[in-house]
Structures are given as structure tokens and as C-alpha cells.
Amino acid sequence: QVQLQQSGPGLVKPSQTLSLTCAISGDSVSSNSAAWNWIRQSPSRGLEWLGRTYYRSEWYNDYADSVKSRVTFKADTSKNQFSLHLNSVTPEDTAVYYCARDGSYDNRTNAWNWSLDPWGQGTLVTVSS
């Protein structure tokens, strides 16, 4: 059973960098089929997909246009975890941040599942001085 455990600060000052980590158990960050996503949720934006990182002989990243100029994803294979770094934050970046996996094989149906499952527990990040 795959589980994702998030960690990181809940308060970040404006203009600084928001950094969160998602530790994986039951799968590998360098899996050749899975991808590791970041999503955030706020009352004003709803659920917003931020991007993903994945390994296919080398590392790739996909970013949402809304954060592309400010976001970086990193993977740490020694700790089996991945991280989100969002710089130059403003109060608009206040949200609950989630990590999630996509790309799993369903043995019952012999089909690939590219939806988001499982999710981390979520981290409320407030941007405020």
C-alpha cells in the first residue's frame, strides 16, 4: 500500500520560498511508471494542479503555467521523497498543499490508472508577514 507523508512549514513570509517534502512508502520515487504530483486547494482557486516530477531513464518535470516561472520540483532517491519549492510567494499562494501519485496498474482490470491516488495528508501553508 502506497502512502505519502508530507512535511514542511505552515507559515512563510511574502517574497520567500515555500518548500514542502513528500516522503513515499510502498513505491519508489524513481519508478518508471509513476509520477509525483503537487496540487493545492484554496477557497478562491479550488483544486489547482501545480505539476509533477517523474523518472523515465532521466528526470522530467511538468509545470502548470500559473506557477511555471516560480516553481521547482526535486527528487531525493536516497530518502525516497520529492519536494516542491515555490519562490517569491505572495498571500495568493496561501492554500492547503497536497502531494499525490499518478500512474499505477490496476491488476483487477488490467488497466493503467492515471488519476491521482493516493494523496498526502495536506499541509496548510499561510503566506503572511
Partner 1 sequence: EMVMTQSPATLSVSPGERATLSCRASQSISSHLAWYQQKPGQAPRLLIYGASTRVTGIPARFSGSGSGTEFTLTISSLQSEDFAVYYCQQYNNWPRTFGQGTRVEIK
Q: Which residues bind partner 1 (CB under 8 A)?
A: 37, 46-49, 51, 62, 64-65, 98, 102, 106, 108-109, 111, 113-122
* Backbone phi and psi for residue 102, each to the nearest 5 degrees, phi listed first: -125, 160
Q: Least distance to partner 1 from the beta carbon of 98, Å? A: 6
Q: Least distance to partner 1 from the beta carbon of 108, Å? A: 7
Indicate the residue among 37 and 81 with the shorter CB distance to partner 1. Answer: 37
Angstrom CA distances, 50 to 36, 54, 78, 107, 110, stand at 11, 14, 24, 29, 29
Angstrom CA distances, 43 to 3, 10, 11, 14, 77, stand at 26, 17, 18, 19, 34
Q: Least distance to partner 1 from the beta carbon of 65, Å? A: 7
Indicate the residue among 77 and 112 with the shorter CB distance to partner 1. Answer: 112
